[in-house]
Structure 1
């Protein structure tokens, strides 16, 4: 996990051009975990398939994957593909991973909380 320089205040850049807010936004975007949905497809009839999001997952930078199902069940897995086994192991059902695109923006919530 990265850090930002303690120089300057959260509200104004230093004269040297350092903008702490911009550094924080960049840090957050660079270290954000990858997110995915587990979508379960069910065959209802010949040629008729339904789909629903049954779980959400987060892939952490250091490797583990946390998955939370729509029913509240949580699991820590070795890979996103392991979630497919949990949610696609029934006759007539298949699970797919749907990856969310990378975040492109981050906003700071002002004012900064101070203790």
Structure 2
């Protein structure tokens, strides 16, 4: 058996190196997009509903709930007239939105008032 040596041109070497670099770059990019999410914060930092998973909701509902949560500064699950001032559209219509006339807005009252129709 005789071995045959083949001369490899510089072009072929560069082509192989370029292909290897592109392949490795693609693998690295996929690894970054598939990296695991950061672990959730401890339950003590999440508030009263920690660990409770809600059912999937229609688009926009999460935005409504997030707005309610931002306005509910004392985290009691309802918006007082003072807390509603953070949301001018809600504040100006507070009396109409407060269906049970108890002086605060529940999540349900708030959601019904601000959901797009």
Category of TM-score, reference length = shorter chain: under 0.3
Task: Give the structure-2-normalised TM-score.
Answer: 0.23
Larger Rg over CA atoms: 2
Higher relative contact order (CA closer than 8 Å, sequence separation 6+): 1
> Which protein is richer in strand relative to its size?
1
Task: Give the structure-1-normalised TM-score.
Answer: 0.23
